[in-house]
Chains A and B, each alone.
Chain A
Amino acid sequence: MSLLLTIVATWGIYTLLGIGIVLIYRTSRVLNIAGGELAIFLGYVVAWAVADGFPVAAAVPIGLVAAAGLGFAVFWLMLRRIMGQPPHVGLMMTVGIAILLNGLIVILFGGGNVTIDAGFSRTMALGGAILSERDLAAAVGAWVSIAVLALVYRVTDLGLQMRAVAEKVMLSAQRGVNINRVVALSWVLGVIAAALAGTLHGERAFVAASAAVIGINALLACLIGGMDSLRGVVIGGLIVAVSENLTAYYVDPRYALLTPVGLVLITLVVRPWGLLGTVEEFHRV
């Protein structure tokens, strides 16, 4: 029961972070390796605000504003200048951003374990089972955030424009979509998703320089589900969370990452575009 709740919470966090990566990938065709570092960096910002005496209800918006600013800056100052170059350039740039943020985490926040205390206790009794209230809060927070993001993507004009840019950049530009603005906003939204994931991870466990590994898990979830599919990430996140937690619980926490990595390699050999990804992607010249 407690394991089940842990799976649901980590599933939500990986999916949230994965949605951030997919949003960015769909519009700007940049595979964002730095997702985990962005999440943890902004998680530290929230943790720092909480430690500074802000109530959680104020600290989280502070983190989200920082996320929006960071996402915009990263796109406008860095990725925008290399759009149109071969895909490996953008990838390497996010590698650079990842290690840059990692260094900043160590310099600014020390990089040690910090838990974001949102006032939830570690245990609660529910019908005989002992559950972690923090896991429950993280699960609820993650799935509410995912629902909001999905709604933005499905219902709003901005979401429509993002989907249009993801389909065909040239055509949407001709129909009057401001490409730079839409891609910049997708970076903002993607980094906000990462910030939420980082905060929730910090709430249920802790933020630490080493916790950036959740970015790898999210990336694996995206690959299993398909890099350009939001629904795919939800399924991929479930597969990663289940395989990781079961390995950690029944075998050894040190080998927890090995099972999802193996599953991804199998996916890449059998079905490289992922469970729900677009096949066409791989034949485009």
Chain B
Amino acid sequence: MSGVRRAPRMPSSLPLGTARTFALRRGRAQWTVCLGGVAILLSLPLVLSAYWLHLANLVLIAVVGAVALNLLTGNARLVSLGQAAFLGIGAFTAGLMSRAAEIPFPLVLVAAAAAGGIVGLIVAIPSLKLRVLYVAVTTLALHFAVATILVMIQAVVLDSSGITLPIPALGPLALDSAVKWYYALFSIAALVVLGALNLLRSYVGRRWVAVGEHDVAAAALGVSVVRAKLSVFVVSSAVVALAGALMAYYIGTVSFESFNLNLAIAYLAMIIVGGMGRVLGSVLGAVLITLLPYLLDQAFAGLGLGIRASTLAGIQEVMYGALIVGFLLFEPRGLAEIWRHLRAAAADWPFRYRAVQRGQR
């Protein structure tokens, strides 16, 4: 039997699912699927039309923002309505910096993330004393404060309708086409996804989850609630601000109108629809919610229905609301859970249930 490849040894008392979750080594099949998926994603620019490539880029930016929001709202259970504010902070930092001087693109991104992190820290301080519900209101207050300040900056300081950003360059490579943007955004999104997955496996992420589940119980177990809340706010806001800066550069202009409360709710919809507290969920939700308005638009155009733009915006809002309420009622764990079920069903096919013991398969 020496030629047979043996499964890694697991303590026999662990249930099968647990053993898989904590497995340090991945099987060959998993690596194949992973690399295959990455290869498909990397070859997308070859097949997509310019319009769809543009949408893919928007999705990638949304992935960065949604993954970060999910750490705060999904894992630490601090419902944030300040997403648009943090995106706006990142975008305006990028806009104002590139307007003031010729600063290298990566440096601007770092500065935007830092600005987001600092504001996140400030917002976190009142939320330390508060229960979950009040954090939503603190971040809502932040939203209105930031919105007003952005209006002020745009009206008083800039005296214009917005800021136009230059074409950014990564070293010698200018990001002047959608394809180049795709690869740049793909690498950043991949880094953020991997970073989030790693954080959630580390003691830092586990601290966030513990505080989210029950802060008093976590404190009783020796977890510092203060440190957990501060760190999750800083990390999440910094990455969201980074997404805002990327958005600003990608679109090419910054204006306060884009950072309204509906944007914050759209991001909340992403993580609820995708799956609270799951990185895969953030990705799936970002894809669905970002594409939804464009798909709706095309569907109505395809049906030949002439619908006013304002009505279309209304329909879009109704769909966001219906998705949030529907998923909370019927599948609170989101698309990520549906995906897991589908995968399990596929693995056990043609049987309906998994065998009780390993040997029986």
Contact = CB atoms under 8 A, between A and B. Distances in A.
A272 B134 contact: yes
B148 A99 contact: no
Interface in A30-66: 31, 33
Interface of A is mostly: helix
Given A103-B318, A269-B126, A78 B325 contact: yes
Contacts of A103: 313-321
B125 A269 contact: yes
A88 B328 CA distance: 11
Interface centre among B138, B214, B322, B325, by most A CB within 10 Å? B325
A282 interface: yes
Contacts of A95: 79, 81, 265, 268, 324
Contact of B129 (A31, A255, A282, A285): A282
B313 A106 contact: yes
B83 to A, nearest CB: 12
B144 A216 contact: yes
B126 A268 contact: yes
Interface in A62-110: 78, 81-82, 85-89, 91-93, 95-107, 110
A96 B328 contact: yes
Contact of A81 (B314, B318, B329): B329
Contacts of B137: 31, 219, 223, 264, 268
Interface string A265-285: 100110010000000011001
A104 B144 contact: no
Nearest to B323: A96
B325 A255 contact: no
Interface centre among B140, B216, B319, by most A CB within 10 Å? B140
Contacts of A102: 262, 314, 317, 321
A258 interface: yes
Contacts of A258: 144-145, 148
B158 interface: no
B328 A99 contact: no
A264 B141 CA distance: 8
Interface string A236-278: 0000000000000000001101100110110011001000000
A111 interface: yes
A99 B320 contact: yes
A78 to B, nearest CB: 6
Contact of A87 (B129, B132, B269, B332): B132
Interface string B291-314: 000000000000000000011011
B324 A92 contact: yes
Nearest to B319: A103
Contact of A265 (B126, B148, B265, B321): B126
Contacts of A110: 310
Contacts of B322: 96, 100
Given A102-B317, A264-B141, A88 B148 contact: no
B23 interface: no
B346 interface: no
B77 interface: yes
B48 interface: no
B131 interface: yes
Nearest to A105: B314
B184 to A, nearest CB: 32
Contacts of B141: 220, 261, 264-265
A101 B129 CA distance: 32
B130 A272 contact: yes
A107 B126 contact: no
Contact of B133 (A78, A88, A255): A88
B310 A93 contact: no
A274 to B, nearest CB: 10
A183 to B, nearest CB: 17
B134 A268 contact: yes
B42 interface: no
Interface of A: 31, 33, 78, 81-82, 85-89, 91-93, 95-107, 110-111, 216, 219-220, 223, 227, 254-255, 257-258, 261-262, 264-265, 268-269, 272, 281-282, 285
A-B pairs, top 3 by smallest CB distance, nearest first, are A100-B321, A96-B324, A103-B317
